[in-house]
Structure 1
Amino acid sequence: MLLSEHQEAVNILTIDRPRRRNALGTDLICGLKTALRDAEANDEVRAIVLTGTEPGFCAGSDLKELGNMSMAEMREHEAVTAALARSISMLRKPVLCAVSGFALGGGVALAAACDLVVTTATCRWHMPEVKIGWIPPWGLEFLLGRCTPATARRLAWGVEAIDGAEAQRLGLADYVTQEASALPMALEVANTLASYPLPAVVATKRYFRDSFAAHGEIRDAEANLLFAENCEHPVAKATLNAFGVKA
């Protein structure tokens, strides 16, 4: 469910769960944690690119897997996923995200957690959590790091989906391409960074780290708690019942 490929000094990590729309299940989160740790420790790797196989980058949490969990287990799963996303900021090496097709829910938050984001112009970005009954349970701090508070709130409410061009205009993405895949441009940027002196790249990432992750753990814990409270509402309960969560 996770492919790892090396192209010169760049490690490409590809989420490969097309039948689950590349959703974030427990095994995938564990695999991503290991792969990022290995890339960080590999002296030949100077940059990392995270992407997904077709049809899109990532659809967020794996609802089928969550359907077999209790509410407490689901909260723990989301907390572990949040910790993985926060760990990206703590890596020394730059992590780029190539987003094609769609980024939904936690897929938006995971992309926003990366250092640089490349999106296709037609990519669909959307956070649907509020509509189905709850606050996004993690990752909102990364939206605040990339956008104004008003824009982050708009994105979290998810009133409308936006395309990649709008995501780049709002600051959610850094680069936009008209091609069908964002990967070639992401690799171009990654290779450029990989060609720079590593200490300078590392120092620059470290300098800006607090702007994106200083309060992430506290804010994710608050969102997780609010998520649990939201799940007591009838609309949220109906959503949970639809995929079998044992609330």
Structure 2
Amino acid sequence: MTEPLLLRQDVDQTAKLTLNRPERRNALSLSLLQELLTALTELENDSKIRTIVIGANGPAFCAGHDLGEMVDRPEDEYRDLFETCSRVMQKIRQVPQPVIAKVRGMATAAGCQLVAACDLAVATQDARFATPGVKIGLFCTTPMVPLVRAIPAKAAMEMLLTGVPISAERAVELGLINRVVAENELDETVQQYCNAIAATSAMTVRVGKEAFYRQLSMPESDAYKDAVDVMTTNVVEADAQEGISAFLGKRAPQWTQK
């Protein structure tokens, strides 16, 4: 049997996770979700890894949950499936490294959720995004969570209520993805993001990513209070002082903090 998830750690400080169930349109089986969770948990403690890229083999990025696992099962098995999927999506937000979705083809239901949960996303021109659960009697409630945090509420409701796919161009307009590129530009564009992040301080990125997601659920006044605390503790760190000194001295910074 082929491995449902492939992991490659490149010399450029990038870990590449590849969904490898092309015959099932990379549907998120429970075993694939468990492997994703394990891989992300291991990578979050690897200081050599600066970025994580999630891609897929085959013509589709991810068709969502594996419906073959969702017929005539006891309720506790369904709960375990949805809870495991939710842990994966939350782990993407919790790891210190930025996670980038590299999307070709369709990303539907929990596959669209996976894209929405990633910090950045790049897609090819043929990519499509949908939350079509309503068409089979199962509202995309868990995919809704990161979706409505990535795009405006009315647009999210349109996707959730109709199940109609949106184009990559529309996904960019809404903020679901960052860039739409030609097929032959996808790898290079993702690599450009990885290179830009690798050139920064790992400590600074870690602090910033954590603060970004924490403040999303705060009232504005509380968010500012938290931001002041973060910037105050950040500015006295060695890498911040080095970065400021390097800028003033018109030289390249030498980062030392993980």
| TM-score, normalised relative to structure 2 | 0.78
Question: 1:184, CA displacement in angstroms?
Answer: 3.2
Question: 1:204, CA displacement in angstroms?
Answer: 1.6
Distance 1:128 1:212 in 2: 27
The match for 2:128 is 124
Spell out structure 1 runs of 4+ moving beyond 4 A. Answer: 211-214
Q: Does 1:135 align with 2:146?
A: no
The match for 1:168 is 172
Equivalent position to 2:9, from 6, 17, 35: 6
The match for 1:82 is 86
Q: Does 1:27 align with 2:31?
A: yes
Equivalent position to 2:201, from 193, 197, 201: 197
Task: Evaluate the alpha carbon distance shift between residue 170 and residue 68 of structure 1 in structure 2; reply closer, same or farther with a 3 A threshold.
Answer: same
Q: Which moved more, 1:76-85 or 1:205-214?
A: 205-214
Equivalent position to 2:183, from 160, 179, 185: 179
One-letter amino acid matched to 1:6 = Q
Question: 1:180, CA displacement in angstroms?
Answer: 5.2
Check whether the contact 1:89–1:213 (CA below 8 A) recurs between aligned residues.
no
Equivalent position to 1:153, from 153, 157, 163: 157
One-letter amino acid matched to 1:147 = I
Question: 1:213, CA displacement in angstroms?
Answer: 7.1
Check whether the contact 2:62–2:106 (CA below 8 A) recurs between aligned residues.
yes
> RCO higher in 1 or 2 (8 Å CA, sep ≥ 6)?
1
Equivalent position to 1:92, from 90, 96, 101: 96
Check whether the contact 1:100–1:180 (CA below 8 A) recurs between aligned residues.
no
Identity %: 30
One-letter amino acid matched to 1:35 = A
One-letter amino acid matched to 1:203 = V
One-letter amino acid matched to 1:135 = F
Gaps (5+ residues) in structure 1?
Answer: 215-247
Check whether the contact 2:131–2:143 (CA below 8 A) recurs between aligned residues.
no
Question: 1:212, CA displacement in angstroms?
Answer: 5.5
Q: Does 1:72 align with 2:76?
A: yes
Corresponding residue pairs, total: 214
Task: Evaluate the alpha carbon distance shift between residue 75 and residue 183 of structure 1 in structure 2; reply closer, same or farther with a 3 A threshold.
Answer: farther
| TM-score, normalised relative to structure 1 | 0.81
Distance 2:109 2:163 in 1: 13
Match of 1:74, SS state, is helix
Q: Which moved more, 1:181-190 or 1:150-159?
A: 181-190
Check whether the contact 2:109–2:143 (CA below 8 A) recurs between aligned residues.
no
Distance 2:67 2:14 in 1: 32
Match of 2:132, SS state, is coil
After superposition, give the CA deviation of every residue in 1:113-171 in whole Å (9 maximum; x if it has no partner): 01001111221211110111121131322112211111111122234211111111111
One-letter amino acid matched to 1:177 = V
Check whether the contact 2:133–2:163 (CA below 8 A) recurs between aligned residues.
no
* Structure with larger Rg: 2
Distance 1:114 1:213 in 2: 17
Q: Which moved more, 1:45-54 or 1:138-147?
A: 138-147
After superposition, give the CA deviation of every residue in 1:96-126 in whole Å (9 maximum; x if it has no partner): 1111111011100011001001111221211
Gaps (5+ residues) in structure 2?
Answer: 219-258
Distance 1:173 1:130 in 2: 23
